Structure 1
Amino acid sequence: MKMDKLIKQAQRMQAQMALAQEELQNTVLEGSAGGGAVKVTANGHGDVLSISIAKGAVNPDDVEMLEDLVLGAVKEAISKAKALSEQKMTALTGGMGGFPGLM
């Protein structure tokens, strides 16, 4: 393959990755726990955007349960974000493991 074609192909892939990163930034995912008593939204990068706690989930005598629910919802939202990000990057790189410096 000629060098100019290789460079154009790399530039095209870099542009596609930038678009995928922008899509991840704008995608909102939700994690929940306690039957929806605690909800966490995150973007596709795993940045937590908001936490919502139903009044019924707040029990001053059992703070540990609420902490566990919040943690569970956060973990679920971040897990969804990681899976989505991995899916998008694998689709772009063909499963070749990514390219340092392009992300």
Structure 2
Amino acid sequence: MNPFDMVKNLKNLEGTMNTMKEELAQISETGSSGGNIVQVTLNGKFEVTAVKLDPIAVDPRDVQMLQDLIVAAHHAAMEKVQERIKEKSGALLGGLNIPGLGL
């Protein structure tokens, strides 16, 4: 392969990755548990942006249940964000399998 073509392809890939980063920053997904008693919202960087608790979930006698519900809602939100990342990156990268992205 021509080295100049490789450099051109790398620049195209860099532009695609920058576009993907911008689009991922716009992702927001909410996971819930306990029948929506606990909701956790994550952005495309897997940062928690919101936590909503139904007052019924706040029982000082059962803190462990609330902790478990928060963890479960977080996992549900993570799965949704990962799925959205796969959808967006698949379209942007045209099916390229880039190591380290876990897609």
Q: Which string of whole-angstrom CA distances, capped at 9 and with x for unpartnered residues, describes residues 36-70 of structure 1?
A: 11111101221111111111111111111111111
Aligned residue pairs, count: 99
Aligned pairs (5 A) from 1:14-93: 14-91=14-91, 92=93
SS across alignment from 2:39:
strand
In the TM superposition, what is the alpha-carbon distance from 1:99 to its structure 2 partner? Answer: 5.4
User: Aligned partners of 1:19, 1:82: CA distance in 2, in Å?
Assistant: 17
The RMSD of aligned alpha carbons is: 1.9
The aligned residue for residue 94 of structure 1 is 95
Identity of aligned residues (%): 32
Deviation >3 Å, runs of 4+: 86-91
Could you state the TM-score of these two structures normalised by the residue count of structure 1? 0.81
In the TM superposition, what is the alpha-carbon distance from 1:90 to its structure 2 partner? Answer: 4.0
For structure 1, which runs of at least 5 residues remain unmatched after alignment?
none
